[in-house]
Amino acid sequence: MDKDKKLLWISPFVVFLGPQLAQMQLYSSTADLQKALRSEKSKRRSVGLVPTMGALHSGHLSLVKRSLYQNDITIVSIFVNPTQFNDKNDLAAYPRTLDKDLNLLSSERGEIWVYAPQADDIYSGDISSKKYDFKGLDRVMEGPNRPGHFEGVATIVERLLRIVRPHHAYFGEKDYQQLLIISRVAKQKRLGVKIIGCGIVREDSGLAMSSRNQRLNSAAISEATFIYQQLLWAKRRFTSMNLSKIKEAVTEAFNSNPSFELEYFEIAEAAALTAHSERKKNKKYRAFIAAKIDGVRLIDNLAMN
């Protein structure tokens, strides 16, 4: 072994990951992960879970850093979950970059276990979604536009939470509707985990970081900042303009931009996601956009007040 390479864990599950700051282990087997977790939990070590689909970027790393700060061990799951894709082409095109992801994580400080299972293993052979009652949170925006998406997300997240039994689990506000739905499911199912929402990490241009950005060429990347600009525009008008008028104007701006295909623009109350045409006192609002550019579907959102 090279002298600058360190094997930090003496365990049959360790995969050597090169010169690194993080103490890293890689598990592909659910049974192996659970066995190792039992041993750590018996020593009263706290565990944080960061579920991801890989192709990691600084947005994911912000969740990882938060977990490393709050827990003894951080489990980063990397799994492109087939049941949450309503579009087969989108699933096939989703970037898979495990080596790069491991490399990126290895520069963090702390104890990181990467859990990268195969679908048959994590689903115990039955790769299908369960039914949930999301109490209406799925009736708007991503729900109707991606049929079956939230069932797929909730199924895999519930599965991950039951496998890992973390003290904390971290989700980005980038997928704000998903964050609310997962918080609801964790409560309904009494999963005994604290769900922690983390702010959106953006490029300097304002574009929300996303694994899907990797599928865009540089011209499309710079054009995609239009999404954030429209959210900012809506925020500037939020107190002075009727909400329906803001919606009309943003929709018109997208329709006049030939690079984009707008799926929705909504301004909704931030806790229940109900759309209003008038602002209500003492309520928080967020604006939400889903739009395609060069066939790649991007989403973003911003607090209005």
Reference 158, options 138, 137, 180, 130; nearest CA is 130
Q: Is 142 exposed, middle or buried (0-12, 13-18, 19+ CB in 10 A)?
A: buried
Nearer to ligand AMP, 57 or 237 (CB): 57
Reference 154, options 135, 60, 145, 46; nearest CA is 135
Instruction: Supply the minimum distance, in Å, between the C-beta of residue 183 and ligand AMP.
Output: 12
Structure tokens at 37: 């977790």
The only residue of 49, 53, 163, 164 in contact with ligand AMP, by rule CB under 6 A: 53
Q: Does 161 bind ligand AMP (CB under 6 A)?
A: no
60 given a catalytic annotation: yes
The only residue of 26, 48, 59, 85 in contact with ligand AMP, by rule CB under 6 A: 59
Instruction: Supply the minimum distance, in Å, between the C-beta of residue 78 and ligand AMP.
Output: 8
Instruction: Supply the minimum distance, in Å, between the C-beta of residue 57 and ligand AMP.
Output: 7
Instruction: Supply the minimum distance, in Å, between the C-beta of residue 175 and ligand AMP.
Output: 4
Q: Does 75 bind ligand AMP (CB under 6 A)?
A: no
Point out which span in 12-20, 58-66, 186-194, 230-238 binds ligand AMP (CB under 6 A): 58-66
Query: Is the four-CA dihedral 107, 1, 117, 164 of positive or negative sign?
Result: negative
Structure tokens at 207: 């574009």
Task: Provide CB contacts within 8 A for 59, sequence distance 6+.
Answer: 172, 174, 200, 201, 208, 209, 210
Q: Does 155 bind ligand AMP (CB under 6 A)?
A: no
The only residue of 22, 161, 198, 304 in contact with ligand AMP, by rule CB under 6 A: 198
Q: How far apart are CA 156 and CA 162, in angstroms?
A: 10
298: three-class secondary structure by DSSP: strand
Point out which span in 108-116, 193-201, 269-277, 278-286 binds ligand AMP (CB under 6 A): 193-201
Instruction: Supply the minimum distance, in Å, between the C-beta of residue 202 and ligand AMP.
Output: 7
Active site residue: 57, 60, 149, 167, which one?
Answer: 60
Nearer to ligand AMP, 63 or 75 (CB): 63
Q: Does 201 bind ligand AMP (CB under 6 A)?
A: yes
Task: Provide CB contacts within 8 A for 43, sequence distance 6+.
Answer: none
Find out whether 247 and 275 touch, Cβ atoms under 8 Å.
no
Nearer to ligand AMP, 208 or 290 (CB): 208
In angstroms, what CA-CA distances link 105 with 18, 21, 202, 256, 298? 12, 9, 19, 41, 24
Give me the residues that bind ligand AMP (CB under 6 A), please.
Answer: 52-53, 59-60, 62-63, 171-172, 174-175, 198, 200-201, 208-211
Hey, which residues are catalytic here? 60
